[in-house]
Amino acid sequence: MASSHASRRPLPDWFAEAGLGMFVHWGPFAVPAYAPLPEPGVTLVDLLQRDPRHMGARLPYSEWYFNAMRIPESATARHHRDVWHDAPYEAFRDVFEAGLDAFDAAAWADLFVEAGASYVVLVTKHHDGYCLWPTDVRHPMGRRWASSRDLVGEVAAAVRQRGLRFGVYYSTGLDWSVSHLPIRELIDSPGCIPRDPDYVRYVTEQLDELVDRYEPSVVWADIGTPKGFDVAGFKKHLLARVPDAVINDRWDPPLAGSQYRFSRWLWNNLVAGVVGRMGDDPFLPGRHPLADFRTPEYSVPNGSVDYAWEATRGLGAGFGHNAQETDAHRIDPDELVALYRSIRAAGGRLLLNVGPLADGSISEAEASRVRHLGATTREGRPVS
């Protein structure tokens, strides 16, 4: 095992040797499939530097649709009024589930093999709170906000049948089905993490359920954890089931306690000033002491670093499917190959995202880029 540098535990050999992973963002947000787009070539980091005070309204991430539709002045809110007539976000569930008849996890797995990927990380629950598996854990609000079809299990089985590792993303911090103050600015996110003890129970039991049912090789947290969540206890449980599993770095707790909401204005002013001076620094969301690797987003570390890392990005401006995107917003196929090679040369790995349509199909615009990467870089499987 190689050293992870982010935790005291050595990095498992399979992950140390991996070069390419595939990320999948899919859920009810694929029904509206909308997010405002920046000018071609403008990245998330560029947007944060230019205008951190309006991140929520301008974020080109369609998976944040539920958040942006609740910001009255946002382009998403206008789109939602014009196209969906202000229907509740929950209405997208029925459309999403009704379109699953043709979903074929095997087709995804075949594409990921063509890419030369070593592992796949599926978003099992994003910030909208919708679960892609039939969870047995009671929702804090008593809602049934989960698929009756085991989509997680289908994807896990399909990728493993082709020799790939399977991992899960789970939104540990934000869950808009439990609690939602519209996130307008960067520092609003940790302040919107639910604080009710029942949410701590919910996160704990769902993560344990994912581990026990699917035995993932990667667990990918996002935007912190609620106060009281036991990261060390969870990792112990994970490693007891999957000894060579890894976790990422985004488990950090909120920046402040219950008084946080009263100081959001001050925090946002401070952070806006810092972000505006980031320059070419990477967007590194956290550095939890138990993490096995760090996760720069739409960026890469500068120079030599003393930690394991995985750069993550979509093929376009965001992660979920965005019907507004054109090739002008997507990475050029040869540029993607060059990016992958530069990441590998610097000692990192690439977690490349696809955003399937609501029916589970992957657009040819994305699939062709994934195939080009595999055909150009693969020298036997897995790509390293």
DSSP state string for 23-55: EE--SGGGTT------STT--HHHHHHH-GGGH
Q: For tokens 């030599």, what's the residue?
A: 304
Per-residue confidence (pLDDT) for residue 54, from 0 to 100: 82
How far apart, in whole angstroms, are the C-alpha atoms of residue 36 and residue 33?
10
The pTM of the full predicted model, rounded to 2 decimals, is 0.92
Distances in Å between the Cα of 165 and the Cα atoms of 118, 137, 197, 247, 283 are 6, 25, 33, 14, 26
What pLDDT is recorded for position 262? 47
Residue 229 confidence (pLDDT): 96
For the cut 80, the answer to whether the pLDDT of residue 101 exceeds it is yes
Q: Are 190 and 258 in contact (CB under 8 A)?
A: no
Place of tokens 């994003």: 126
* CA–CA gap between residue 219 and residue 235 (Å, rounded): 9
Residues 290/5, Cβ–Cβ less than 8 Å: no
End-to-end CA distance of the chain: give it in Å, rounded: 16
Going by C-alpha positions, the residue among 339, 287, 274 that lies closest to residue 311 is: 339
User: What pLDDT is recorded for position 318?
Assistant: 95
Structure confidence at residue 188 (pLDDT)? 78
pLDDT at 150: 98
CATH architecture of 18-377: Alpha-Beta Barrel (3.20)
Could you count the other beta carbons within 10 Å of the beta carbon of residue 226?
23
CB-based contacts of 167, cutoff 8 Å, min separation 6: 21, 119, 120, 121, 122, 216, 217, 218, 219, 220
What pLDDT sits at residue 44? 77
Q: Output the CA torsion 323→328→334→338 (10° steps).
A: -90
Q: Say if residues 357 and 363 touch (Cβ distance below 8 Å).
A: yes
pLDDT score at 282: 58
Weakest-pLDDT range from 69-73, 182-186, 253-257, 312-316 = 253-257
> Which pLDDT belongs to residue 180?
85
Residue entry with tokens 């679960």: 131
Task: Using alpha carbons, select from 95, 209, 195 the residue that is nearest to residue 150.
Answer: 209
pLDDT for residue 214? 98
Dump pLDDT digits (tens) for 178-192.
Answer: 988 899 887 778 778
Per-residue pLDDT, averaged over 306-321, amounts to 96
Question: Higher model confidence: residue 111 or residue 262?
Answer: 111
Q: Is residue 146 helix, strand or coil?
A: strand
Tokens describing residue 190 = 């940790």
What pLDDT score does 283 carry? 60
Task: Specify the pLDDT at position 7.
Answer: 56
Share of the chain above pLDDT 70, in %: 87
d(CA 281, CA 277): 9
Cα(43)–Cα(26) distance, rounded to whole angstroms?
Answer: 21
CA angle 177, 178, 179 (to 5 degrees): 105
Nearest CA to 108 among 362, 318, 316? 362
Q: In this model, does residue 383 exceed pLDDT 50?
A: no
Report the range of poorest mean pLDDT among 125-134, 264-273, 357-366. Answer: 264-273
Q: Which whole number is the average pLDDT over 366-380?
A: 87
148-165 pLDDT tens trace? 999 999 999 999 999 999
Which is higher by pLDDT, 283 or 348?
Answer: 348
Instruction: Please name the residues in contact with 89: beta carbons below 8 A apart, sequence gap of 6 or more.
Output: 28, 65, 66, 69, 128
Least reliable range by pLDDT among 176-180, 229-233, 348-352:
176-180
Kindly state the tokens that stand for 180: 């939602």
Q: Do residues 26 and 322 lie in contact, with contact meaning Cβ atoms separated by under 8 Å?
A: no
Here the tokens at position 30 are 């694929």
Q: How high is the pLDDT of residue 3?
A: 56
Q: What is the reported pLDDT for 186?
A: 72
| Confidence at 382, pLDDT banded by 50, 70, 90 | very low
